[in-house]
Structure 1
Amino acid sequence: MTNRAWMGSISLAAAMLVTACDRSGDGTSITINADDGNTVGAIDGRSGDVKIALPGFSGQFKMPKLDMDAGNFQLNGVHLYPGSKIEAVDMNDGGMRIRFSSPAPAAAVRDYFRERLAKAGYALKAEPEGLSGRTNDNTSFRLNLEGGAERTKGTILLGG
């Protein structure tokens, strides 16, 4: 297992410790994949099931569901749009994907990110469905948005 996969496992444990846990509604799902594509850790946001498959250890257990929101995530100091809820975080050796929902139209969410991420050093280009570009450390970045007049579903892709 690479250092990145181990770091992903540590990130999973940290996410479990710092996020609010409850049994109501849908929670946040998290997966961590090794560079060979196999899942080394996963939390099911709906059931609270946790699965770990590391060299020398594998197991499954149940814990309270994770419920992550805008305050639990940031990109270079930029949080998700206020009132957003993180639905899933998928990590692998090449990057990360964060799926979220926001209580605003897609244009408002895109403008919020464009303004704040540009101040954080991101090189961005507006796209009809969101933003694309590079982070301040030259990692690829993409924000895909789809929504109606009151709610937006979004996906942030970093790297890979």
Structure 2
Amino acid sequence: MSSWRILGAAVFLSAGIAGPAQADRIENKVAVFSALDKVTARISKLEVEIGKTITFGALRVTPRACYSRPPTEEPKTTTFVEVDETQLDGSEKRIFTGWMFAESPGIYGLEHPTYDVWLAECDKPKTTTASRPPPPPAPVATGEQPNDAYVPPSAQSPDAGPQDDGDIPPEFRRRLRR
């Protein structure tokens, strides 16, 4: 086989295996919400540390995760949040559990008869979590296939779904099933 054919086959194989480039997501320590009190028509900025709870009127807002992307990438700012309402008898009722997206506050915010709460941004980056699968092994120059051929994560098990940063982490998936 000529070296041009081997090179062409290697380029063809690597192009078919490589997926689209994805940015790293940034895990943040603080979720920043905007909250509207419909009685007073006042908008407040709520900065809440992940895992901590803040009270806004009768609502208790607790963010569990807040992810963003680098400024050079397309924005995708998300938070997993739990919102409880204090009832007149003093008990608490969970009124929202789920993801909020800063780019779509009208769709993914909390709408309540007295209050609205939506994600504005994430702040104080903590770490960067790579969202890309590991790169495939380099092709062998002799035209032979390596023994440990690359298998994308979605093909490793039948129930594995897409592995992008839009996936819901397992610890939050359990909470959604409740």
- Fold shared, TM-score > 0.5 on shorter chain: no
TM-score of the superposition, structure 2-length normalised?
A: 0.25
Structure (1 or 2) with the larger CA radius of gyration: 2
Q: Which is strand-richer, 1 or 2?
A: 1
